[in-house]
Every structure is written in C-alpha cells, then in structure tokens.
Amino acid sequence: MAILSKPDVPRFSVDVYQNEYLPEGAGEVNAVVTVTASGGGTLKGPAFAGGHGGHGERGGGDRAPDAAVVIMVDCSGSMDYPPAKMRGAREATAAAVDTLRDGVRFAVVGGTHVAREIYPGEGRLAVAGPDTREQAKQALRRLTAGGGTAIGTWLRLADHLLSTADVTIRHGILLTDGRNEHETPEALTSALEHCAGRFTCDARGVGTDWEVKEVTAIASALLGTADIVADPQNLAADFTSVMETAMGKGVADVALRLWTPAGARLRFVKQVAPSVEDLTDRRSEAGPRAGDYPTGSWGDESRDYHVCVEVPPAGIGREMLAARVSLVVPRPDGGADSLGAQGLVRAVWTDDLAASTSIDPQVAHYTGQAELAEAIRQGLEARKAGDADAATAKLGRAVQLAGLSGNADTAKLLSKVVDVVDEAAGTVRLKTKVAEADEMTLETRSTKTVRVKRRPHES
Amino acid sequence: MTADQHRLSVCPGCTEPVEPADLFCGACGLDLSAAAAPAADTPTVALQTRDDTPSAPSAVPPPAADPGTDSFTLQPPAPRSADPREAGAAAPGGQACVACRAGRVDGDGYCENCGHAQPRERDHMEQESGPVAAVSDRGLRHHRNEDAFALAVATLPDGTPASVAVVCDGVSSATRPDEASAAASRTAADTLCEALPRGTHPQTAMHEAILAAARAVDALAGEPAEAREHAVQQNAPACTLVSTVVADGLLVVGWVGDSRAYWVPDDRSAPARLTEDDSWAAQMVAAGLMSEAQAYADERAHAITGWLGADSYELDPHTVSFKPDRPGVVVVCTDGLWNYAEAAEQMAEVLPADAATRPLHSARVLVGHALDGGGHDNVTVAVVPFPGPAKGAGSG
C-alpha cells in the first residue's frame, strides 16, 4: 500500500476510546474511534481569503484547485408559491458561485421532471474565475419555475457533468422544495446507487412541502449533509456555508478500513459525530478479514465512529486485538492508498469486576446519542400515525436523553414539538399545535450529535 | 480459569469450545491430544520448562509447529534473560501465532488471523546470576506481568562477593505499574552495586537503594503525558520493593510494601518470615485489632499502606540485618507467591531441599506452586543462598 504524501492532503490521526476489559465469557467490544484530519490547508473562496484559512503558502488561486461542483436547483412549478422561494434559490446559487475558489470546475443545473443545464451548457463544466462567475450569475435568470420533480434525473446529469473533469473532489449541492413525484421511488434509488461513490452531495429542502426521508436519503447515500431551510431568505447564507465546506475538502473517497480477527463478527459501524449514520451495510471486502466503509471526502475536520465487534471469548488474562482501524483511499484496481494513521481496539479478559463493568464515557455518550436519534424518529412516526401514547413516551425519552447528554440544539427543537414537564424524568405533553417547519426541522436534524466534553487541556 | 482447567477448554486452532474427552476439534479437526499433552505432563513446574532444562537463553520461542510445546492456555515465550538491555530485541515480524498457529504476528504483537496478543518478553522471565536465581511469571489471571526483579553480584572492598536480589510488584491501581516495578528493581540493584564495593555498610546501602528506587519511580510520574491521557486511573506509577543482600556472613533485607523475604535454613530447623508487610492486614494484626486469620480473610487485607511512587508522602524504608548461624536460603517474593505459601513453614515445605545448589530450579518450583494454586496474580521469586556464617565471624 502506498502512502499518500501530497502536501495538500490532510493528515489523519486516529484515537480509540474504549474500556478494553471484559468479564469471563464476554465477547462484545465497543469502542469510539475519533478520526481527525488536519493540515489540509482549508481554503475559503475569494470573498473569504485572508480569513482563517491560515496557510499563507497556499493562498487562494495560487494552486489549481482539484475540485468540481454542480449546483442542482429545483425549478418545479411550486417554487413560485410563494415566489420568494425561486428568488431565494437564485440568490443562494449566486452566493454559492461567489464562494467558488478560482479554478474550481462548476456547473448549474435546473431541475424539474427533467434536468436542464443552466450554465455553462453543452455538457461542460466552467472554470471558476471573475468572468465565469459573472456569466453564471447572469444565467441564473433562466432559473424559472415550471414543471415537475424527478430528482433522479438531476443527479444523473450532475454525475455526467462531474465525470468530465479529472479532479479529486466531486461534489453536488441539491436544493428541492417538493416531493419527488415525477419518477418512481425506484428510479431515485437507482440513480443514488449509480452516483454513490462517484460524487458526494449535500441536500437541502426549502419550505415545508418536501419529504424529509427523501432529502436525508440523498445525503446519506451520497455521504453529504441534509438540512431544512424553512425560510427561503436564509438560503443564501446556507449555500455559502455549504460551498465553503466543499471548498475545504482535500481528499475524496476515504474509507474506514476495519480488520477483525477470525471468528469475530462486526455488529455495527456507525458514524456518531457530527451526526449518526449507520455504515454497517456499506461494507466492501478488502482482503482477509478486512472491510472498507465509505466516509466520503474530508477537509480539516474530525468525526467519531462507534465500532462494535463480537469476538470469540478467551480466558482470563488473555489479550486480543478486536479490531484494527485505518484510513485508506481504495483504488479502482483493487489496491488502496493508506492515509497513514491507525488505531487498535483491544479486548482483555479480567476477573476484576470493577474494571470489566465500567463503560467508557465516550461509548456511553454515543450510545445515548444514537438512542436519542432513534427515539425522535420513532416518536415522530407515532405522532404522524396518531398514536399519542407511543409518541409521548418516545419523545419524552428523547427529551430526557438530550438533557442528559447536553445536546442543547436537539433539546430546543424538541421543545417546539412537546411541552416539557420534567426533563430529568422525561415527562412531556404533546403540543396540540406544532408548526410544520418545526416538526420537519426536528426530523431532519434528529441525527445531529454533540461530543463529550473532553480533553479540556486542548481547548 | 482454575488450575484444573489447564487442559484445553477451547481449540488452539480455531478457539472452538471442546470437551475434555474430545480427541479432535469438531470445527477445524486439530489433534487436541497432541496439543493438550504437555500441560498435563508438567503440573508442578511452570510453563513447560522442564526441571533439567538448561537456563541458557534461547533467541526464539519454541517452533510453533511443534505440538509438544504448544499449549494454548499456557504457552510462554522461551525463557530469556531478564536483562532489560535485551528487552525489545525480539522482532515478532514473521513469527507464527502461538494461539492459532494459522496467522503471522504483526508489528504490534497481535496475530493477523485470530488477533491474540503474543506472549511478551515480561510474561515469563528467568535469570541466574552467580549463586542467585529468579523467575517471574504473568500468572494465569492477569493480562500482563507487572512484577519485575533484578539480580546482581557485587564485589566488596575485600574482594568477597555479595549477592543482590531485588523484587518489585507494580501497584495495579496505578498507571504503568509495569514500568514502575522495572525502574525500581533496576535502580535499587544498580545503587547497591555502586555502594557495596565502596565499603558502605550493606544496611546503609540498602536504605540508600530503596530511596533511589523511590526517586526513579517518582520520575516516571512526570513522563509522557500522552501515555497517561487515556488511562482509566490517573494515579502516578507505584510499586512495592523487597531486596536482600548476602555479604560476608551478613543477611540484609529491605522492603516497602507487602512483598516479602523468608529465611529457610538448609536443615529446615526454624524457617522465618523476615519482613513485616506494609499492609492493612498487618497493621490490624500489629495493632491487636484482629487475629491474623481474620485480617487476611478480609477483602482489604492486601491494601498496602506503603509503596514507592509519586503518591507516597511518607516513605519509610524498612531495613533489617541478620547474622544467621547456619546456611540456608532467602526466598524473596511478591504476594503472587506468598498467597499460596503464607506461613514460613509452608514456604519451607514448598522449597526444594536442594535450593541452595539449584536456585533456578527452586525458583521455578515455587512459581509452579503459585500457578497450581490458581496463579491469580503475577508471581515473582528470587532464591538467594546464604552460605553460612563468615569465616572468622567472631569479629563481626
């Protein structure tokens, strides 16, 4: 395996948090793996040059950016009701274009029941610069509402455009305001399967007439973020920040590689921060006893993963490597480039009950955060189904968990859906009147997690 | 696992559970009788080291393909010198795994197939130095050996040799106890070897050696912050120490903590314990608050009240000198041994009669006794022969 040594590729580090001690006969090993990428020279667009990008020798524009971005804007008829949505979408796209770093390839796609190239057209990508940015913004006037919604076609066009560029980072930004009504769900699923691993994509829903599950499914399949922008006025700010993040990516197609010993069973692999994303079913085999789990592209950032392995129990006093965690960029030829860092998840059998019964604070925290996301999902589903008792119980548990773990953002979102009687006990009453935007915001953001306050000396 | 489970409970090839009567593994077909045989053959002496095995260090563990030395539950590394300068020399790169025999050992010391940690240098250590010998073993219940020992032969100003043995037991509730015990034993032995040739009285030298060992353990506390960051406990490293010097008809013992020294005369006339534990139980007995039986039955019995390490505020090294009137052997050991032979009479019973002439063999027998008893803790013992009163002892 070669080691990537490009100067602008972030350096990765892996930290493992676990209680490795198991009682006799036990085999379940839990660990939280923190992956941190740094030193990638995160850059901002021209408007932000001189900000906190930091690395002077990599000033914006000096280096040909190795990225391509396609912005997909919903142009279905509903975008004109109210007209603020179409206006907001145009302004947001203009803001995103302004945030493009010089040299980045880009295109704008208008989406209805078919996908249409708005800029530059003819199946090409433009190269960001003062002229092309201006031309693109002029072309946005052609973003007009009229037609249906078939998101699969937008994604396939984006994929086609992105595939014309020989770049490291391929990214999409997708905005929709309605349900995917003009193609079958299978068509969207098949488009997502086609695009998965070819580019990453952030998805945004504007207004409240879109389907949370569709938008989160797109972001999940394409390893991007999902969010709601209920008020079209806030779109520009959101697109700016999404594009800034995209511009900061330095390495794509990173996979979390897990080796586990013979006889072991990987029970689950979840990203748990910044949001919960179950990766267990996305394994691709990578040699004997090893599998790769896709994590998409990375800039300077840190993510946490919860790994749960069942190993064959061994005798008291024995020690076993339960998992070896590393980061790789798989190559098309079946090989992989190592990103250097690795972490060891261990199992040590002991008859010291004090040691084997304690739970690592990180593992406990993220177990709680995953349960929180699940409680919100189940609670909202029960509420929609009219099962008030189940909804009250689940959302009450969610309020309790959010309070316990200090997830203030989620607690605040919950308080717009339920009246909290007693946070510690998880006693709540369902609100009789809930704004649709509040419920959708809670649903969309239910998987957002907070980290344990740790390593205070670092802050 | 208890002593009577030395026979295989899982297949060494694939870790499939097996019944005592099974001849072959039902999952992978491994011949279990061949794999299990040696454990049954050597119930007394630890770790497949036959009584008559020469102590010459061998560079590599027994070939993994040899079924006669391949017990899954007890496989030790080959006996090696405990000299710390040789530690870390083993390159496990291409070795076959002792647990499954199917995989190779990776750079981190784990099998790339079954993940089992490979035996480490310190899991089992043996050393002979002049007339003195010591054996240290991880035991059956702990995942690493936190005990350490150091042996040396110093030369007194008049040219006569002095035997030095130091045994240390890392405090498990502290961080990096294995480093603490290694540093303390090495430092104490080095200090004695410097002081004795200068003519320092052995008891004074012992006192200085313990203080030097304490400083060495203290110094560890300031070391890599990174290493401590992830540890469950944040206690500074700590360990016990017991040491003996046999020089010119004089027997000096020094200790801190609950590691012990026993005197066993060759004629077995009146064996005796030479140390008083710095432990909760010993304090209870000394204060007349409990009987010895009551005190040692209490779960707090082994809580120690004295140790070397950064959290120890009042270090009180105990040193005692004896002038035995007959030849014998000093058994210097951690509680991993004396838990299985607490009274001096019991220790004398377990110690082979020829201990003075075969100290390494005797040390192995003592460790084997602890393992047969359950091996609940790391076991370390040094056997130091005392040749008898000095010639012309009338002057001293």
Q: List pLDDT tens digits, range A91-103.
A: 999 999 999 999 9
Tell me what the mean pLDDT of segment A439-448 comes to.
93
Which residue did the predictor score with more confidence, B145 or B71? B145
**pLDDT at A295 exceeding the cut of 50:** yes
A254-267 pLDDT per residue, tens: 999 999 999 999 99
Contact B1 A316 (CB under 8 A): yes
Cβ-based burial of B305 (10 A; exposed 0-12, middle 13-18, buried ≥19): middle
B115 closest CB neighbour out of A321, A351, A355: A321
Contact A319 B143 (CB under 8 A): yes
In angstroms, the separation between the Cα of residue A424 and the nearest Cα of chain B is 28
The reply to whether B141 touches chain A by the CB within 8 Å rule is: yes
Residue of B nearest to A262 (CA): B114
Chain A residues touching residue B110 (CB < 8 angstroms): 320-321, 344
Say yes or no: B83 and B147 in one domain: no
Which pLDDT band, with edges at 50, 70 and 90, does B28 fall under?
A: low
Measured distance CA(B192)–CA(B172) in Å, rounded: 27
Contact A263 B111 (CB under 8 A): no
pLDDT at position A452 is 80
Say yes or no: B100 and B165 in one domain: no
Q: Which of B94, B119, B144 is the last residue of a domain?
A: B119
Measured distance CA(A192)–CA(A187) in Å, rounded: 9
Amino acid at A269: V
Q: What percent of chain B has pLDDT over 90?
A: 46
Say yes or no: B53 and B102 in one domain: yes
CATH code of residue B128: 3.60.40.10
Say yes or no: B297 and B321 in one domain: yes
Contacts of residue A81, defined as CB under 8 A and 6 or more positions apart, other chains included, come to: none
Contact B142 A317 (CB under 8 A): yes
The reply to whether B1 touches chain A by the CB within 8 Å rule is: yes
Measured distance CA(A89)–CA(A71) in Å, rounded: 11
In angstroms, the separation between the Cα of residue A264 and the nearest Cα of chain B is 9
Torsion of CA B144, B146, B149, B150, to 10 degrees: 90
Q: Which of B8, B108, B116, B122 to mutate to test the interface with A (most CBs of A within 10 A)?
A: B116
pLDDT at position B224 is 54
Contact B138 A355 (CB under 8 A): no
Say yes or no: B133 and B84 in one domain: no
pLDDT at position B391 is 64
Query: With contact defined as beta carbons under 8 Å apart, do A89 and A73 qualify?
Result: yes
**pLDDT at A240 exceeding the cut of 70:** yes
A159-195 pLDDT per residue, tens: 999 999 999 899 999 999 989 989 999 999 999 999 9
- What structural domains does chain A harbor? 8-40+252-357 (2.60.40.3670), 46-247 (3.40.50.410), 361-445 (1.20.120.1690)
Residue of B nearest to A21 (CA): B143
Say yes or no: B89 and B135 in one domain: no
Tell me what the mean pLDDT of segment B154-168 comes to.
94
pLDDT at position B5 is 37
Tokens 């006093």 belong to A317
> Can you read off the two tokens belonging to residue B226?
């990174």
Measured distance CA(A256)–CA(A329) in Å, rounded: 9
Say yes or no: B305 and B276 in one domain: yes
Mean residue pLDDT of chain B comes to: 78
pLDDT at position B71 is 38
Contact B141 A351 (CB under 8 A): yes
Contact A262 B103 (CB under 8 A): yes
Query: With contact defined as beta carbons under 8 Å apart, do B214 and B237 qualify?
Result: no
**pLDDT at A158 exceeding the cut of 60:** yes
In angstroms, the separation between the Cα of residue A459 and the nearest Cα of chain B is 15
pLDDT at position B92 is 40
Say yes or no: B130 and B106 in one domain: no
Q: Which of B102, B119, B136 is the last residue of a domain?
A: B119
pLDDT at position A69 is 96
Rounded-to-5 percentages of helix, strand, coil across chain A: 35, 30, 35
| DSSP label at residue A432 | S
Query: With contact defined as beta carbons under 8 Å apart, do A288 and A260 qualify?
Result: no
pLDDT at position B202 is 94
**pLDDT at A108 exceeding the cut of 80:** yes
pLDDT at position A113 is 92
B114 closest CB neighbour out of A262, A316, A351: A262
Chain B residues touching residue A355 (CB < 8 angstroms): 232
Query: With contact defined as beta carbons under 8 Å apart, do B185 and B167 qualify?
Result: yes
Say yes or no: B166 and B218 in one domain: yes
In angstroms, the separation between the Cα of residue A358 and the nearest Cα of chain B is 10
A-B contacts at Cβ under 8 angstroms = 73
pLDDT at position B31 is 56
pLDDT at position A216 is 95
Say yes or no: B6 and B134 in one domain: no
B84-143 pLDDT per residue, tens: 343 333 334 467 888 888 888 888 889 988 899 888 888 999 999 999 999 999 998 888
A314 closest CB neighbour out of B110, B116, B229: B116
In angstroms, the separation between the Cα of residue B76 and the nearest Cα of chain A is 12
**pLDDT at B10 exceeding the cut of 80:** no
Number of independent structural domains in chain B = 2
Among B54-63, B81-90, B136-145, top mean pLDDT goes to B136-145
For residue B349, the enclosing domain spans 122-224+232-395
Tell me what the mean pLDDT of segment B56-62 comes to.
40
Chain B residues touching residue A315 (CB < 8 angstroms): 1, 9-10, 73
Using alpha carbons, select from B257, B382, B255, B282 the residue that is nearest to residue B329: B382
Say yes or no: B183 and B103 in one domain: no
Say yes or no: B138 and B18 in one domain: no
Using alpha carbons, select from B130, B136, B178, B186 the residue that is nearest to residue B154: B130
pTM score of the predicted model:
0.74
